[in-house]
Structure 1
Amino acid sequence: MIEHSMPGGQVGRSNRCIPSGLIGVVDTIVAVLLTTFRVKVIPEETLGQAVGMLLLVTDGLAAIGTLLGGYLLSWFGTTSTGMLLTGGMFMLAVAVSRVTTPAQRQPHDRAN
């Protein structure tokens, strides 16, 4: 817990570090799972090229996202930007799940 001064000279405790710690744990687990998936799926002779391209795209998008996030915050404020980004991430997750899992959308043959 983080101690901080409150009005009137009181000392309070904050639990802000707990969500940050959980994000770090989840981020580490996801990184290990994605790395394992890449190593199993991508052929060894092209793994270096594939990882290099992935890093180029993700690092480039991170820079663009930071710039876009700053503009959104200055235009709309924190609450509206948060709601906009949450809705956008939800729609992106739904769209990606529709594109990447076509086998689950096809009706099963029940004639067996």
Structure 2
Amino acid sequence: MAPNNIHLTIPFYASLYIGVGTSAVDQTLGPFELKECFEVSRPKVIFCQSEKATDAQLALNKLDHNAHIITFDKVDYLFNYEEFLRKYGDDSAVDEYR
């Protein structure tokens, strides 16, 4: 849930590479529409711009469902993409992945 940019492609292709299901969601959806989407997809992680994080959290709350929300831009109270990569990323070559 963000404008088209390089940051969207990395988690998308990474999830395909490891065989995890993905769901592209229109960034213009509000909490009600997001609830309907999340009811079907039951996300575990949501990558979005910080201005959509509140809508995503409201939708998750309506479903009584928890998911990690990771923002592409920096916000004090949310886990952002840079921190996510620093915490979970490494410099391993793709050829070494098993």
TM-score, normalization: structure 1? 0.25
Q: Whose RCO is larger (CA < 8 A, sep 6+)?
A: 2
Structure label with greater radius of gyration: 1
Higher helix content, 1 or 2: 1
TM-score, normalization: structure 2? 0.27
